[in-house]
């Protein structure tokens, strides 16, 4: 069946595509919140108020921001990471991501995640997703999201200017990091419980997106014209 496609960014063509992982390529929100809820209760935190603050950030930044007295960061981070490695129940791929990845040349995409490398590969396997050649994880950068370091490092390793990269993100911290780096952004809202106000295109999944490689190596990102899943600002 023929489909009518239109550019998602009519004025831009890209050289590489960078993905956040949790909430963008795969849904791990239930597992993540189970682990962090248990941690928050152990430290006497208001779980309901605390959980919205954890997404898109490394454990170290999440914990440091709390300023809890006497916290052994290394021990606490290790405990959270062990809990997340053990809990992969319910992790699944975001709709359409597998077919979308198949359309991107292998040397033109990568993942920038706040997870450790071990956790990232475990969650990708649980969701049935490939591990890319480029995987920038929590220990690869000195400062995590919302700082731009991870995306800048990924663009450098791909050999592409960050201004020619398109980032798929879902969290406020990740979006801020991509903006600060200078990349274009698409927001994946598949796991959002409430609408996010954003100036960027927002989409529930990847089913309606297509990648069209150009003769000069650029990548056009196309969307099915009749789709009501993409919200453009």
Instruction: Please write the tens of the pLDDT for every residue from 164-173.
Output: 999 999 999 9
Distance between CA 65 and CA 225 in Å, rounded? 43
Residue 157 CA, distance from chain mean position: 18
- Tell me, yes or no, whether 169 and 82 share the same domain: no
- Tell me, yes or no, whether 129 and 192 share the same domain: yes
Tokens standing for residue 154? 């990924």
CATH number at residue 193: 3.40.50.1000
| Beta strands, E only, the chain | 5-7, 16-19, 26-27, 92-93, 109-112, 135-136, 165-169, 184-188, 202-203, 209-213, 219-224, 230-231
- Tell me, yes or no, whether 76 and 191 share the same domain: no
Instruction: Please write the tens of the pLDDT for every residue from 176-194.
Output: 999 999 999 999 998 877 6
Mean pLDDT confidence for 197-226: 89
The b-or-e profile of 4-32 (16+ CB within 10 A means b, else e) is ebeebbeeebbbbbbbbbbbbbbbbbebb
- Tell me, yes or no, whether 104 and 218 share the same domain: yes
Query: What is the overall mean pLDDT for the chain?
Result: 91
- Tell me, yes or no, whether 158 and 209 share the same domain: yes
- Tell me, yes or no, whether 225 and 110 share the same domain: yes
- Among candidates 200, 209, 201, which has minimal Cα distance to 227? 209
Q: Is the pLDDT of residue 228 over 60?
A: no
Q: How far is CA 62 from CA 14, 168, 173, 211, in A?
A: 32, 22, 11, 35
- Among candidates 188, 211, 208, which has minimal Cα distance to 198? 188
- The pTM of the full predicted model, rounded to 2 decimals, is 0.85
Q: Which residues are catalytic?
A: 20, 22
Neighbouring C-beta atoms of residue 197, cutoff 10 Å:
7
Instruction: Please write the tens of the pLDDT for every residue from 87-99.
Output: 899 999 999 999 9
Q: Which domain holds residue 77?
A: 29-86
What is the pLDDT at residue 98?
97
Distance between CA 15 and CA 43 in Å, rounded? 45
What is the pLDDT at residue 232?
63
Q: Is the pLDDT of residue 67 over 90?
A: no
Q: Which of 86, 111, 127 is the last residue of a domain?
A: 86
DSSP 8-state code for residue 156: H
Q: Is the pLDDT of residue 158 over 80?
A: yes
Total number of domains constituting the chain? 2
- Tell me, yes or no, whether 59 and 17 share the same domain: no
- The residues that bridge with 165 in the sheet, in sequence order, are 16
Instruction: Please write the tens of the pLDDT for every residue from 115-144.
Output: 999 999 999 999 999 999 999 999 999 999
- Tell me, yes or no, whether 113 and 224 share the same domain: yes
Higher pLDDT, 36 or 209: 209
- Peptide bond before 146: cis, by omega within 30 degrees of 0? yes
Q: Is the pLDDT of residue 22 over 70?
A: yes
């Amino acid at each position: 069946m023929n489909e009518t496609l239109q550019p998602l960014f009519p004025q831009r063509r890209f050289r590489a595509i960078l993905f956040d992982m949790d909430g963008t390529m795969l849904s791990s929100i239930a597992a993540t919140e189970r682990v962090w809820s248990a941690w928050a209760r152990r430290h006497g935190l208001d779980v309901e108020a605390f959980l919205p603050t954890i997404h898109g950030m490394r454990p170290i930044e999440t914990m440091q921001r709390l300023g809890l007295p006497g916290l052994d960061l290394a021990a606490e981070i290790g405990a959270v990471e062990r809990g997340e490695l053990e809990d992969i129940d319910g992790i699944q791929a975001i709709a359409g991501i597998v077919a979308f990845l198949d359309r991107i040349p292998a040397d033109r995409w990568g993942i920038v995640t706040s997870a450790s490398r071990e956790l990232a590969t475990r969650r990708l396997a649980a969701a049935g997703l490939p591990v890319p050649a480029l995987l920038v994880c929590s220990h690869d950068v000195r400062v995590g999201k919302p700082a731009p370091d991870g995306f800048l490092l990924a663009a450098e390793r791909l050999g592409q200017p960050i201004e020619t990269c398109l980032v798929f993100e879902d969290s406020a911290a990740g979006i801020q990091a991509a903006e600060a780096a200078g990349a274009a952004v698409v927001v994946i809202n598949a796991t959002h419980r409430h609408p996010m106000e954003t100036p960027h295109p927002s989409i529930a999944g990847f089913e309606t997106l297509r990648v069209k490689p150009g003769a000069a190596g650029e990548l056009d990102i196309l969307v099915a014209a009749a789709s009501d899943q993409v919200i453009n600002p």
